[in-house]
Structures are given as structure tokens and as C-alpha cells.
Amino acid sequence: MPGLEPMILNKTVLFNIVFLIYRDIENNNYIVINDSQSNIIQYD
């Protein structure tokens, strides 16, 4: 089926984009800050 290949390709590209965005969000959830006692706090 010739019409099926572009659809699969688009789904793959879309999945990759969503995965990259999700991974970016996951990475941004780790915020490391120094408090006044200079202990490193890591938030999930």
C-alpha cells in the first residue's frame, strides 16, 4: 500500500519529536540550587 509508508514515517518523526520534548522536560525537572548553607538541593 503506497499510502501507508508516509503515514508510518510521519508517526515515527512525530514520536521522535515528542520523545525529544519529553526528554527535555525530564532534564529540566532537575534544578540544582545552592541555598544559604551552600548545600546542593536537587528537586525532582
Contacts of 40 (CB under 8 A, 6+ apart): 32, 33, 34
Total structural domains within the chain: 1
Name the pTM for this structure. 0.40
Mean pLDDT of 11-36: 71
* Torsion sign (Cα): 9, 10, 13, 19: negative
Residue 44 has pLDDT above 80, yes or no: no
Domain range for residue 31?
4-43
What pLDDT, on the 0 to 100 scale, is given for residue 28? 67
Q: What number is the average pLDDT over the span 1-22?
A: 78
Residue 44 or 15, more confident:
15
Q: Report d(CA 42, CA 38) in Å as an integer.
A: 12
